[in-house]
Amino acid sequence: GLPPGPPTVPLLGNLHVFPQHSFHYKFTEWARHYGGIYSLKLGPDTIVILTDVAAVKELIEKRSGSTADRPPMYVAELVTGGLQMVLARYSDKWRSLRRTAHATLTPKASLRHIPIQKAEATQLLHDILHDPEGFFRHIHRAANSSIMSVLYGKRSPRYETQQTAAFYKMFHVWEEITAPGATPPIDIIPILKYIPERFAKWKQICAQTRRNQRDLYFGFLDETRRRIQSGCENGSYMEEVLKRQEELGMDTEMAGYLGGALIEAGSDTTALYLKSLILALVAYPDAQQKAQEEIDRVVGEHRMPTLEDLEAMPYIRAVILETHRFRPTPPLMVPHRALNDEEYKGFLIPKGCTIFINAWGIFHDPMLFDDPERFMPERYVLTVNGTKPELEMDASDLRPNFVFGVGRRSCPGIHVAQHAININVMFLIWAFNFSTANDAEGNPISVDTFKYEKGIVTGPSPFKCKITPRSAEKAELIESEFLESGETFSKFEYGLDRVDKEFVEKTRAASSR
């Protein structure tokens, strides 16, 4: 009764044709052949791939209680003790973490963080203005500093600031060790767990990553606690968690890992999204021009955009949604696992199978979207969910927020993420022209919109482009707004080392000239 799928061979199932990475491309190719719900066999394991919005709505949202588990991941268990919320099994530990995130990352609470998100987005403009070629680094700094300020009230003025550098150093190892194929197939052959550490390098890496994560996450927590005790609060998220610790049932161990998971889930997602945006703007100059014309019409020449302006900017709102559709940061979201046998349209979704939500395949379905491979924001001006105006099938479940997931595991950081994205998209399009760079002979270097990094969340591989301020007046406004942001920043700039302090003083002095 399993959903159909590619032919299998004895023992291996589909293992011999299973992609090495960037699964979403192959998953989508198979979906076009086998339909919106199909299955694969990896040895004894079953995988079900959903490339159909109605199936996602029914199985992941309505039957969430039965599909909200995550596949077992021994490495995550070893490193985080099962407390990394994104990867955690559907357990009491996860329920406590989720309850706390839900109670504290509310739409109302997220509004409190807008001033620092705006200030960080202003520094991003400033950094790109002075060093356009380094835009990848500047975006990652801004995203990490912003989420660190929201969560722990502690910012990073530079990419090299100790907390950001240490986080990314740890995070890259963490990403590598949790990537498919990085370790022997322990989750399929559990006996491999018992290989002694001296023969299993991955175990040593796990142990080191655990130490590094704990140093960072519990260090941040201690600092926040000390700040509360000395009366120097700045409204950060973890201050609230610490103050309500008892009421929320959070022991220190849980609070430490909650914060850690939020930094991990909140840093790169926003950064990768912004890199995809820039890539699309370079590749589709017409869309860029329309977006700039709309911003200029609403904002004029003499001030920077504000979040309130977005209401009057249907095209910019469409650019924001189209970037999610064109290059979803998590193309397969995060895998789920079925806790019970489920039946759907006559197919068996067996207990214990892994379920992938193929967001890429849905967003690139030519039945749903006109010319889905094109970056075409107007589709979201024409219809609310961007689908074909004359669509006969019901696509109402494809809400504009679909990219943040549905059901019990949907993204709890959605409001913080949306504010960051909205501010940054408006600022970047208002401030700069993004165009192709030229090679040494003066020929344009075209960008490849398919050259993406591997990973559960993914963004463009490094690419070259030309970024120039749209006018001298805008460049001056960036400098003055950056200078004014100093006041907002000052509440988040504690514990900076000498190099950071000098950097802050130097950059602000330069902007004031």
* Interface positions with ligand HEM (CB under 6 A): 85-86, 98, 261-262, 265-266, 269-270, 273, 329-330, 333-334, 403-405, 409-413, 416-417
232 is in an annotated binding site: no
Residue 343 pairs in a beta bridge with 348
Q: How far is the CB of 337 from ligand HEM (least distance, A)?
A: 11
Residues 47 and 39 sit within 8 Å (Cβ to Cβ): yes
Q: How far is the CB of 116 from ligand HEM (least distance, A)?
A: 13
What contacts 420, CB < 8 A, 6 or more positions away? 117, 121, 143, 146, 147, 270
Of 269 and 288, which has the nearer Cβ to ligand HEM? 269
Q: Is 235 left (phi over 0), alpha (psi -120 to 50) or beta?
A: left
Q: Which two tokens stand for residue 380?
A: 């979201």
CA atoms within 13 A on the CB side of 134: 15
Write out the H or E segment, with its range, that includes residue 57: none
Of 119 and 504, which has the nearer Cβ to ligand HEM? 119
Task: Give the Å distances, CA to CA, from 468 to 60, 128, 177.
Answer: 44, 9, 38
Q: How far is the CB of 416 from ligand HEM (least distance, A)?
A: 5
Q: How far is the CB of 331 from ligand HEM (least distance, A)?
A: 10
Q: How far is the CB of 208 from ligand HEM (least distance, A)?
A: 24
Residues 404 and 324 sit within 8 Å (Cβ to Cβ): no
Structure letter (DSSP) for residue 364 = T
Task: Give the Å distances, CA to CA, from 366 to 19, 22, 83, 388.
Answer: 23, 20, 40, 9
Write out the H or E segment, with its range, that includes residue 231: none
Of 59 and 333, which has the nearer Cβ to ligand HEM? 333
Of 59 and 205, which has the nearer Cβ to ligand HEM? 59
Of 124 and 411, which has the nearer Cβ to ligand HEM? 411
Neighbours of 159 (CB within 10 A): 19
Distance CA 75, CA 91 (A): 17
Give alpha helix (H) positions in 131-244.
135-152, 162-178, 201-229, 237-243
**Largest CA-CA distance found in the chain, in angstroms, rounded:** 73
Q: How far is the CB of 144 from ligand HEM (least distance, A)?
A: 11
Of 459 and 469, which has the nearer Cβ to ligand HEM? 459
Of 85 and 291, which has the nearer Cβ to ligand HEM? 85
What contacts 484, CB < 8 A, 6 or more positions away? none
Q: How far is the CB of 110 from ligand HEM (least distance, A)?
A: 9
Q: How far is the CB of 273 from ligand HEM (least distance, A)?
A: 4
Distance CA 268, CA 123 (A): 18
Closest CB to ligand HEM belongs to which residue?
Answer: 413
Write out the H or E segment, with its range, that includes residue 302: none
CA 393 to mean position of chain CA atoms: 30
Closest CA to 508 of 491, 488, 485: 485
Of 329 and 485, which has the nearer Cβ to ligand HEM? 329
Of 318 and 496, which has the nearer Cβ to ligand HEM? 318
Neighbours of 495 (CB within 10 A): 11
Q: How far is the CB of 269 from ligand HEM (least distance, A)?
A: 4
Mark the binding-site residues for heme, compressed into ranges. Answer: 411
Mark the binding-site residues, compressed into ranges. Answer: 411
